[in-house]
Structure 1
Amino acid sequence: MSQALVPDRTCGSCTVCCHVLEVKTLAKPAGVLCEHSTGTACGIYRDRPSACATWHCLWRKIGALPDALRPDRAGVMLSLETDPAADDPFLRARIVCRAVHTPEALERWEAIEAVAMFAREGSLPVWTAFGPTASLIYPDAEQADRPRSAIGGRVEHPLGDPLHGPEAAAWRQRLGYAPEGADRPQDR
């Protein structure tokens, strides 16, 4: 995914990220409106932390997302979230479609199509979330345990099927794991 921003697409008066994101340097927890938010802008914009200055939602980065998906218009925020130390490999790097005020926002056609677009693209896990509740959409939650086990190295070929090895290796690479075998001692 490109780090470049979509030309002529600005935040405008959208301040959804000021509510949704955790900003450690400001001791601002996720899900709490930042004390510096004016409701339509950042009150410390010129002196805002680098975590705020460099972060952009996926609507700002991906031109294929319609204007209707600007977070303040759609009630959902699409973002790339990472947690390199997560035990669940599908939480290490993921696309999240997060409902801001009500879970019904996830049922808007724009949100449904955006989630489907990321799932079809298939390079990262895709989640939907509202508050503390999150659901894995891609890979299919029912099918996720097989690659989870293989990615984590708990079983060599889940369910005895050697075809799952390449699938797990591809997920390991996309999610930032060491190349298969690199974290295991070499036989001498």
Structure 2
Amino acid sequence: MFSWSFLKAGELLDLDDELHRVDLINCVPGRTDEIEWMRLESVLTRRCVQFSPAEMTELFQVKRLRVRARNSVPQDFYAQTGDQLDDAARRRLFYVEQFDRLQPSKSTAQLARFIDEVYPTADFPHHKPSPGSVRRWVNGRGEPGRRWPGQMRGRYPRGPRCSREPEYAQEIFEDSFEAFLRSAR
């Protein structure tokens, strides 16, 4: 039988075209290479499902389960150019690259001088960031020499990413609304 022991907690899988991550792996007592069962958690709904290796192999064979590439990220994450970035991400990338080049101290006074020195060299319109923002970008978005444009994007997009109600609830709302409109005439 196929072995699923290569999977580690946190890895991503697609189950019925929905993204899941490996939440928990339970091995046979005394044998770390033999899995007894595995729990997957839906990234979207946080619902957990548990499978034995035989069940996972069966799902894989009928193409309901697909293993994502390790550390799978969007295609443009490692792109070397920032042409497709929004204005805020372009600004972050500019300041962290300049920080890596000049390597000033992270103190507030030194960062303020750094921002004043670098601001006029930018080839796009923007407002000056605060020293605290630059410090946060430098500390939290990559390492010197390895700062990818994909790391500079906003981490908390605004607005709803999807409807908060289940699809059947939306249909009920729509039907009720249409019935209301018909009765109001």
TM over 0.5: no
Query: TM-score, normalization: structure 1?
Result: 0.26
Q: Which has the higher contact order (CA 8 A, sep 6+)?
A: 2
**Higher gyration radius (CA):** 2
